[in-house]
A and B are shown apart, each in its own frame.
Chain A
């Protein structure tokens, strides 16, 4: 029996407006055709293997994350953390530091608690709606809002940690970050899971005039889990967004990133470090949309694939007719660490204004043998040399993470995964 019905959506906890919104989305979803690999945006994806019927809606009795779930990232981020909100299978299970933040007028918690929650939800993501964002609209159990008022600077990191614990369960994390004009915040969004979960997150980043937002998504799903995520952002006049992801987990993990620069002088720095091993498939679709003059976007995605893992990067820079003075850059570099690994990189430009500076670059290749030889000739054993070079390859991204306190955790997570792979190969 299909659990993803309109009735099921309507009966999730929440106020009337949300029940209505969910029901409408569920109807739309039921009427929509599932995507197929024939569609350009799903090319090279694993969508042909997707079977929603294999999952149940995560229940209210879902388990708490087991002790140690956040080990590694917990202590690393601790010193600089202003607040933590833990969400497990669509329920808030723990929090700290929220009261202190609310004294500054900063609200972190259920979106339905905000007086204008109904207007905020979907205000960014609705413009990038697709089959899976609609599914999230229908079944997101507890949308979270991080709301930073105009003129407020939050010094510490706001960490929202999503955990999917149900075997065979589907969860729909929803995170909305709104930074008012001249406000400033750093948000760390962590995603972990146990077992064969389906996780369909939607993130909305609303960066107001002259505001600054640093966002880091640290994805460490179980290797049996599927993730199909949409990260959407709208950046207003003179505002600056730095949005980064470190993507390590998931059997199939797809992240679609839509960044719309809608106000003059807006900028978006987009970073990602991803690493696939085993038979993982990591899939990234990025969209840099320049919809106003003098906007700047700078994308750097660096990935590595080993064993028989695969990665896909396809990116589009779009410069709209009115976006004169645009600076848009897109770089994707991939290391292929084994014969059976496979990486695809497809950059695209669509430019409708002549007064622009745009470039794109992409590369897929093995670890540079000259670099390996150099280290070996100093007495560094071959596998250690490869580990050092691959870790170093990611440095450029890790050093640029807008949440500095997560750098060490990200480095350690990458190194741990790399070591496991090299050990298994040896």
Chain B
């Protein structure tokens, strides 16, 4: 049974500690939601687990089926079975989706990638014409998120970190994409770490476990009912009571330097 185990994970950006000791264990086939207010460090968790540059890992471990991911380049983590669905997927001009997926070490040699792309596109209502475009170029926010789900389908990872699934997605798209991910958890044993600031997404991607994330770590874990409590009471209980990771910074929420600069305006 494969598992993703995060233990005591601490990381900083520009000398400021953002992750202050994250402990989390996700088994295959499970969906874990990490919920927290803006600026709590949720996206930093996604980036550090996926291996994006620009963060200093101060301690802890991230193991996928016993393999330590920290210290590996991002593509090795993907090879080990990790997938990151980004909040704001990057445009890569001049690089086709087909070339990117064909060059992935997650794609077996000689795989019929183009056919798989068409199949996955049909499943989530991603228009065929978008398959021809350079990666994410001239795609709307919703189309980009469908594109992330399509790639997840083609690459077939063991675990997916999904950062703010519903950003930019309309209800129809959310339904398709949510159903595709749920299907992967049921049939392929995909484990999911879904990072979200609101429970809106849970209508389409049902969590087995909900974690409250504030102050750079997990404050409480529970069943889906925890999300309802949060929806009713908000995060104040956590943001108010929990000392901030950096006392100099007071209660200023952390803005991930690699996140979308307008994220706060959109939410």
A: residues with CB less than 8 A from B are 369-371, 373-382, 384-385, 388-389, 391-396
Q: A374-B135, A376-B78, A379-B155 are in contact. Are A391 and B103 (CB under 8 A)?
A: no
Contact call A375/B100, Cβ cutoff below 8 A: yes
Question: What are 7 A-B contacts defined by CB distance under 8 Å?
Answer: A369-B53, A374-B90, A375-B103, A377-B74, A379-B104, A380-B100, A381-B103
Residues of B within 8 A of A370 (CB): 90, 258
Other-chain contact of A379, B52, B90, B99, B107 (Cβ < 8 Å): B107
Chain B residues positioned under 8 Å from A371 (CB to CB): 90-92, 95
CB A397 to nearest CB in B, in angstroms, measures 10
Instruction: Give the chain A neighbours of B89 by CB distance below 8 A.
Output: 374
B73 within 8 A of partner (CB) = yes
Contact of A381 with B75 in the complex, beta carbons under 8 Å: yes
Would B73 and A378 count as touching, CB distance under 8 A? Answer: no
| Shortest Cβ gap from B203 to chain A (Å) | 27
Known: A374-B135, A378-B78. A395 touches B100 (CB 8 A): no
Find out whether the CB atom of B104 lies under 8 angstroms from the CB atom of A391.
no
Nearest first, the 10 closest Cβ-Cβ pairs linking A and B are A392-B94, A379-B78, A379-B104, A376-B74, A379-B106, A395-B94, A374-B90, A376-B75, A392-B95, A377-B84
Please report the C-alpha to C-alpha distance between residue A370 and residue B95 in the assembled complex, in whole angstroms: 14
**What's the dominant secondary structure at chain B's contact region?**
loop
Main secondary structure on A side of the interface with B: helix
Q: How far is the CA of A396 from the CA of B95 in the complex (A)?
A: 11
Residues on A with beta carbons closer than 8 Å to the beta carbon of B44: none
B70-115 contacts to A, CB under 8 A, are 73-75, 77-79, 83-84, 86, 89-95, 99-101, 103-107
Q: How far, in Å, is A369 (CB) from chain B's closest CB?
A: 6
Choose one: A374, A382, A393, A395; the contact of B73 (CB below 8 Å).
A382
Interfacial chain A residues near B51, Cβ < 8 Å: 376-377
Give the distance to chain B from A393, nearest Cβ to Cβ, in Å.
6
B94:A396 contact, CB within 8 angstroms = yes
- Find out whether the CB atom of A378 lies under 8 angstroms from the CB atom of B52: no
Which residues from A are CB-within-8-Å of B107?
A: 379
Known: A376-B78, A382-B73, A382-B75. 7 other contacts (CB 8 A): A369-B53, A374-B86, A374-B89, A375-B75, A375-B92, A379-B78, A379-B106
B75 and A374 within 8 A (CB): no
Q: Would you call B43 an interface residue if the criterion is a C-beta within 8 Å of the partner chain's C-beta atoms?
A: no
Residues of B within 8 A of A376 (CB): 51, 73-75, 78
Least CB distance, B25 to chain A, in whole angstroms: 22
**B248 nearest CB across to chain A (Å):** 28
Per a CB cutoff under 8 Å, which of A374, A377, A385, A393 touches B94? A393
Min C-beta distance of B261 to chain A, whole Å: 13
Residues of B within 8 A of A377 (CB): 50-52, 74-75, 77-78, 83-84, 86
Q: How far is the CB of A301 from chain B (nearest CB, A)?
A: 16
A217 to B50, CA, bound (A): 44
Q: A395 CA to B151 CA in the complex, in Å?
A: 23
Q: Is B134 an interface residue (CB 8 A)?
A: yes
Q: Contacts A379-B78, A384-B103 given; indicate if A389 touches B151 (C-beta within 8 A).
A: no
Is B105 touching A379 in the complex (CB atoms < 8 A)?
yes
Q: A392-B93, A394-B94, A395-B93 are in contact. Are A380 and B135 (CB under 8 A)?
A: no
Nearest A residue to B106 via CB reads A379
Chain A residues near B74 (CB-CB < 8 A): 373, 376-377
Chain B residue at minimum C-beta to C-beta distance from A369: B53
For A373, A378, A393, A396, the residue with the greatest tally of chain B CB atoms inside 10 Å of its CB is A378
Question: B62: shortest Cβ distance to chain A, in Å?
Answer: 14
- Taking a contact as CB atoms under 8 Å apart, the answer to whether A380 and B75 are in contact is yes
